[in-house]
Structure 1
């Protein structure tokens, strides 16, 4: 794991937290730099390298007005296009993911008899735990003080044989989060994901894959897309239990009011992801 990159995210996250909470007051560069414990010059450079846009431009993606505009645009989830191995239309930044659910027997056995190779890696959004079973991604969860690898492994796949083997997963990790934000390592084939969940959860998680990068939908829209418009609360619960963060983009779902809402791995991280993706798809330096 590249600890310097992890530290970069920690500094950026403190500034994003301040941006999100005070965007109406338009925080100055000096305020944000102070939050990140950096000089204005170094903060501006670090932030722009990370986000691809200036802090001022990034803050526009964290406003309530921007979120509401995204929801009004709408995403036809029931007709989402998949073209040339990429999800969405023209979203070359997006990964194409295929999901497979475990059998009912495997679900009940909680991974008994299965071997999970795992390791901790770096990303633009901090350190994360990657777990793979039979070449399929079964776990991608971000790590912080309250979410440590041992606990995450035991919670998600308690009966599996957990083997720490980061060297075997380095190529896969580079495909998920390419170095320096480039697309050079992106796979030509879909990234296979193995999920342990109920039939309803799998349906919700599959719907999330149809949200293009840089776009937002509401919990109600997800419920409608799976044919259960009155199940938005249950949809929210299923989204909150997503075991494969980022690849299954639960961070792209917000409240119908335009508020970002909570996130399993922290609201700061959700805001960082949404702003980062918006910058990559519509932002200009």
Structure 2
């Protein structure tokens, strides 16, 4: 899992360490650390952004990923990670891993990603889709650099670059992303592939209306973790769906921009456009 700062209450740290060592239900965990289940649930989420059950599920998933990446066969990796039933992983594996466990083990081998690049007022945007929806919107100035980033995420996937408008599945999704970048109405399925905590943050970002901003601290507070501003910032930095998951709408408490994966000038331009201080961005499809 992402590195987690120690909680100020040693009982919460004890609870987290116990979950790292063994699988415990909420009641047993609460007894072990001397808190009631209700208090442990609330305070654990406030400190770490996840309930004990969610933390345990994420720990199992991380173990599965490590095993698959190390080359273990799927069945061995599943049981080593603590999954009692392989069927449960295959039922939900695509949502959590972004693909079936076998494909994840092979670095995306057998998975086909169609992608294209469009020119926008924010620079170039690489749009990649799987059969489930848009999995990446990467911003930059160099298509080769953007492609390299996509290959790093899916090193053995088949990446198929398609000229815009020449693929009946990709074309409407590229148009939807272009609409989003130009501040026009858009609708397209997206894949939120990340940890349980990252997905909570990204889903919260998608609820921030255009033209509004939230501070990292306020967003953390809304998620029930008042000391989690840094964790929220890390989740924003890990967002691979520029604009569709609007991490640009999160700023520092003093009103300054903070960070942005694709550069502060783009963040500034997006915020100014959404707040009506600039015209919508124009785009041309490559």
TM-score bracket relative to the smaller structure? 0.5 to 0.7
Does the CA contact (< 8 Å) of 2:211 and 2:271 recur in 1?
Answer: yes
Summarize the Cα distance change of 1:257–1:150 in structure 2 as closer, same or farther, 3 Å threshold: same
Instruction: State which drifts further: 229-238 or 173-182.
Output: 173-182
Q: Structure 1 residue 223 and structure 2 residue 184: aligned?
A: no
Determine the structure 1 residue equivalent to 2:173: 172
Instruction: Please give the TM-score of this superposition, normalised by the length of structure 2.
Output: 0.56
Determine the structure 2 residue equivalent to 1:209: 206
Q: CA deviation at 1:180?
A: 11
Does the CA contact (< 8 Å) of 1:240 and 1:263 recur in 2?
Answer: yes
Q: How does 1:141-152 map to 2 (within 5 A)?
A: 141-144=138-141, 148-152=145-149
Determine the structure 2 residue equivalent to 1:197: 194
Q: CA deviation at 1:198?
A: 1.2
By relative contact order (CA 8 Å, sep 6+), the higher-ranking structure is 1
Please give the alpha-carbon distance, in whole angstroms, between the structure 1 residues aligned to 2:246 and 2:144: 19
Summarize the Cα distance change of 1:246–1:278 in structure 2 as closer, same or farther, 3 Å threshold: same
Please give the alpha-carbon distance, in whole angstroms, between the structure 1 residues aligned to 2:118 and 2:257: 26
Q: How does 1:270-281 map to 2 (within 5 A)?
A: 270-279=267-276
Determine the structure 2 residue equivalent to 1:156: 153
Q: CA deviation at 1:147?
A: 7.5
Match of 2:254 among 252, 257, 262: 257
Deviations 1:11-32 (A, max 9, x none): xxxxxxxxxxxxxxxxxxxxxx
Instruction: State which drifts further: 232-241 or 169-178.
Output: 169-178
Instruction: Give the 3-state SS of the residue equivalent to 2:190 in structure 1.
Output: strand
Q: CA deviation at 1:281?
A: 10
Deviations 1:193-213 (A, max 9, x none): 113211111111111101100
Does the CA contact (< 8 Å) of 2:133 and 2:189 recur in 1?
Answer: yes
Unaligned ranges ≥5, structure 2: 1-94, 281-286
Determine the structure 2 residue equivalent to 1:137: 134
Instruction: Please give the TM-score of this superposition, normalised by the length of structure 1.
Output: 0.56
Does the CA contact (< 8 Å) of 2:124 and 2:143 recur in 1?
Answer: no
Match of 2:245 among 248, 258, 263: 248
Unaligned ranges ≥5, structure 1: 1-99
Instruction: Give the 3-state SS of the residue equivalent to 2:135 in structure 1.
Output: strand
Q: Give aligned pairs, total.
A: 180
Instruction: Give the 3-state SS of the residue equivalent to 1:194 in structure 2.
Output: coil
Deviations 1:147-186 (A, max 9, x none): 7122111233233221112332332222222399584xx4
Please give the alpha-carbon distance, in whole angstroms, between the structure 2 residues aligned to 1:198 and 1:146: 28
Does the CA contact (< 8 Å) of 2:220 and 2:227 recur in 1?
Answer: yes
Instruction: Give the 3-state SS of the residue equivalent to 2:115 in structure 1.
Output: strand
Deviations 1:35-61 (A, max 9, x none): xxxxxxxxxxxxxxxxxxxxxxxxxxx
Instruction: Give the 3-state SS of the residue equivalent to 1:129 in structure 2.
Output: strand
